[in-house]
Amino acid sequence: MGIRSFCYFNPIISKRMLLAIDIHYKSTYAKAVGVLFHWEDEVPQRIMTDIINTVADYEPGQFYKRELPCILQLLKQVDVNALEAIIVDGHVYIDNDKSFGLGGHLWQALGEKVPVIGMAKKAFHNTEQVATLIYRGQSKNPLFISCIGISKEKVLKKVKLLHGSYRIPTILKTLDQHTKNQ
């Protein structure tokens, strides 16, 4: 069992939010961090953390088996049905046949009710039909965007408008910093 912060989302006081999640693996545990925000935010509305002491070993080609339990543990801190979407650092699909990657497995684990957006920094082989490249700011390196349960056109438009003039949106840089901090 993890040690949780006491940061809970109250959907009554706010419009629907997004939740971006990242996991950082330490030698004996994993640290899951989530940031709740609106599309236009520069800083998160809330940050939540969970420590997962039992983490599956990495299996090549089966990364979701390690990552998904950590994400599901963190999601116990929010009402996922009140979210507009969840953003993961990874792909929704791992090939053009739409075999699920981390994002697809998360969507399925949530009963196909909560949209999932994959924002990956690296391409995955054979995904040119299911992942769209977005160039932000002056970067010559794209983000690879995929989604399920939400309009691709909406996601692409919104990702381009996320705060920050660099490839990685400001809110995701903040997430990364919190994930890697002790």
Ordered by start, the domain boundaries in the chain are: 11-180
Q: Which pLDDT does position 4 carry in this prediction?
A: 39
Residue 164: CB atoms within 10 A of its CB come to 15
Q: Which pLDDT does position 14 carry in this prediction?
A: 47
40-72: pLDDT as tens digits: 999 999 999 999 999 988 888 788 999 999 999
Average pLDDT rounded to a whole number, residues 95-112 = 97
Closest among 14, 16, 19 to 32, alpha carbons compared? 19
Question: Which residues does residue 18 pair with via DSSP β-bridges, in sequence order?
Answer: 37, 85
Residue of 2 and 30 predicted with greater confidence? 30
In Å, how far from its chain's centre is CA 55? 18
Q: What is the mean pLDDT of the chain?
A: 90
CA separation for the pair 164, 168 (Å, rounded): 7
Question: Which residues does residue 83 pair with via DSSP β-bridges, in sequence order?
Answer: 17
Helix residue ranges per DSSP H, 113-169: 152-161
82-93: pLDDT as tens digits: 999 999 999 999
CATH of domain 11-180: 3.30.2170.10
Sign of CA dihedral 122, 120, 169, 153: positive
User: Is the per-residue pLDDT at 8 higher than 70?
Assistant: no
- Give the CA radius of gyration of the chain: 15
60-64, 142-146, 167-171, 172-176: the lowest-pLDDT one: 60-64
Contacts of 10 by beta carbon, 8 Å cutoff, 6+ apart? none
Return the beta strands (E) in 73-155 as ranges: 83-88, 116-120, 132-134, 143-148
Q: In what order do the strands lie in the sheet with 143-148?
A: 46-52, 30-37, 17-25, 83-88, 116-120, 143-148, 132-134
User: Is the per-residue pLDDT at 1 higher than 90?
Assistant: no
Is residue 113 very low, low, confident or very high in pLDDT (cuts 50, 70, 90)? very high
